[in-house]
Structure 1
């Protein structure tokens, strides 16, 4: 998911540290993909809302 935003991580072996096998990962892939899509959509929607609000104001600000 971080790669979607151009963020590189150094934790290649994150799942291995939890003894996740390829079979376990494959079984969970659909759930992981759906969750990542929902999170990315929510972030992108919020960004667009903030960007639109920012374009209408005199001074830029980012608020939650």
Structure 2
């Protein structure tokens, strides 16, 4: 399921909620490095939209440092 979500986001990264779900999923699975990589990719992708970046950061603050 997580791999499928990651693949969907690779094809269509314009889904902030999907990125949040992926980051949280990796965290719940104990995959901290993958969660951080997904966070970095999401915030990089939305770098031109600070409101979306802020939303992502708020939504995953407890999962990614």
Q: Provide the TM-score with structure 1 as the length reference.
A: 0.32
Higher helix share: 2
Q: Provide the TM-score with structure 2 as the length reference.
A: 0.31
Give the number of the structure whose alpha-carbon radius of gyration is greater: 1
